Structure 1
Amino acid sequence: MKLELVRFKDWTDPVPSVRREVLSALPHPDDGQPPLLFVPGLGHGAWAFREHWLGHVASRGFAAYALSPREQGSLRAYAHDVVQVAAGLPRQAVLVGHGVGALVVAHALARYPARAAVLAAPVLHGRAALGAALRTNPLGTLPAFFGGGLRLSRRQLFAGDPPGADAYVERLTRAPSAVYRSLLTAPGPADPVGAPPALVVGSPDDRIVTRKALDRAAARFGGAPLLFPGMGHDLMLEPGWQEPIDAILDWLVKELAG
């Protein structure tokens, strides 16, 4: 019934169409493996995956795509965009969400029969995430409670002081206040279509997503999180970025073989 209500709303109040930014890296040759579609979190765009992960995924034989969030949107609109882009790919896709992008993926899974799903440093509960952000970055977080934008800090995103961190932080954008409201008021995601295999990855040293949150997210999908100590929230931009993406691909290869 819940899924039918979502579809009814999409019919009576359709999400406005926009031009979507999708970056890609393609393998040579293409051996027919399922493509990976990466979905960034708040403040990030497809560029965050282009830095390292897209090319590396392609070098391992998988087509890789990354979708930037629309400038003005909501959780519902973001999930709609993921479903539309995934449906347009040549083969059944693997959805990979980072941060709040993992929550977007969780909602998209109720509408799109993904081959598999990966939730990286997942922010699945908006109130808990904003509470953690308020503790670690009060000046950047308080405006979000009064209709302003959230400004993430280097300390929230990275462990230590890695090279290039300041340049990455400068590329972050302020998400619309409507996004925060939708995070706080949206119902939980419905069950995934087709029960695809799912993997949760993260770091116990993440200053945005706690270890307990990682455990809860993984338990929801019947497993345990794959942890990378010493890394920050932005796993794909840390100096050790290759370790988590290789672990994700190794897991995916095993799932496809099974």
Structure 2
Amino acid sequence: MIKGRHRVSTPAAELELRWREADDGATDRPPLLFVHGVKAGAWVWELWMAAAAARGWRSAALSLRGHGQSGGRERLSRWRLRDYEDDVMRAVAEMPEPPVLVGHSMGGLLVRRVLVRSTPPAAVLVTPAGARDGLGVTALLARRRPWQFLRSLAFRSIRLDASDVFSPALPPAAAEAYVAQLQDESPLAQLEIAFAPRPRTAGCPLLVLGAGEDKLVPPVEFPRTARIYGGGCVMFAGMGHGLMAEGFWDWPLATMLGWLDAQRRDP
């Protein structure tokens, strides 16, 4: 059983897993495995992990290699999506039982790639990049932030500000504190997010949580992703890309946990 902060050895790096038991000690539900997006780490899931624990869910949050407190930061520019995918598979293997996979943004793409290799109890994609090739995301970045688009083409980590990630509903101080923790991302992974083909299989119940005011992924992509995977989609009007830390972050979390409980009742 993973407890507290745990290190997982891989051929390339030591991976950080942050584990949280259910507050009531319950083990009747499958654990949740949270996978972060670009420029982030396991820390982005703290609010959701604490609230899920209060509702009887165990969870772990992974920092991909080169992120958070995982090893491999000195080789960040070398990592590709297939490396991050391997990290998720390694974390799955360390869990006490097959976990529900929850991925945000790039993490949503990684979850979809992992679904080709394993079948979890369920999967939740939080404001994921589109199920089609990532041209919509690329066009949106090029239009809103042309200099950041050029940075990605020049194999440099893009920069994000608070308005890219959050809606105006989140107090500016909280939004800036979040963005200040973001780090560089692998330029190779960035390009793959934009141009790599998307896997199109699920094999398990799947839910997409979308944001109506997303500035990084066109909101129209969220229901399209759900349709391609035969899953459901819930849109949160007035919320931005970082649903797990938005001003009303508990709304999407409650929706996710309610949906998961329904899957257990009606498999």
Distance 1:161 1:230 in 2: 8
Structure 1: tracts of 5 or more residues without a match: 1-14
Please give the secondary structure, in 2, of the residue aligned with 1:191. Answer: coil
Q: 1:135, CA displacement in angstroms?
A: 1.9
CA contact (8 A) 1:137 1:152 kept: no
Other-structure match for 1:23: 18
Matches within 5 A, 1:74-223: 74-124=80-130, 125-160=133-168, 162-163=170-171, 164-189=174-199, 191-192=201-202, 195-223=203-231
Q: Which of 216, 219, 225 is residue 233 of structure 2 equivalent to? A: 225
Q: Aligned partner of 1:189: which letter? A: P
Q: 1:17, CA displacement in angstroms?
A: 2.9
Q: 1:175, CA displacement in angstroms?
A: 0.5
Cα separation, partners in 2 of 1:196 and 1:224, compared to 1, 3 Å: closer
Q: 1:180, CA displacement in angstroms?
A: 2.1
Q: 1:211, CA displacement in angstroms?
A: 2.5
TM-score normalized with structure 1 length = 0.88
Is 2:50 aligned against 1:42? Answer: no
Q: 1:200, CA displacement in angstroms?
A: 0.5
Distance 1:190 1:223 in 2: 12
Structure with the higher fraction of residues in strand conformation = 2
Q: 1:54, CA displacement in angstroms?
A: 0.6
Distance 1:122 1:88 in 2: 25
Distance 1:201 1:210 in 2: 13
Other-structure match for 1:61: 56
Query: Deviation digits for residues 47-104 of structure 1, max 9, x if unmatched?
Result: 1101x10111111111111111212221111111111101211111100011111001
TM-score normalized with structure 2 length = 0.85
Other-structure match for 2:70: none
Q: Which moved more, 1:183-192 or 1:29-38?
A: 183-192
Distance 2:215 2:40 in 1: 17
Q: Aligned partner of 2:30: which letter? A: P
Q: Which of 13, 24, 29 is residue 33 of structure 1 equivalent to? A: 29
Q: Which of 243, 251, 258 is residue 259 of structure 2 equivalent to? A: 251
Cα separation, partners in 2 of 1:16 and 1:61, compared to 1, 3 Å: same
Question: Number of residues paired by the alignment?
Answer: 241
Q: 1:152, CA displacement in angstroms?
A: 1.4
Query: Deviation digits for residues 176-219 of structure 1, max 9, x if unmatched?
Result: 11112333453332523xx1100001112111122320121010
Q: Aligned partner of 2:198: which letter? A: G
Other-structure match for 1:8: none
Query: Deviation digits for residues 207-239 of structure 1, max 9, x if unmatched?
Result: 112232012101012244101111100001111
Distance 2:225 2:86 in 1: 22
Q: Which moved more, 1:54-63 or 1:174-183?
A: 174-183
Q: 1:111, CA displacement in angstroms?
A: 1.1
Q: Aligned partner of 1:179: which letter? A: A
Identity of aligned residues (%): 34
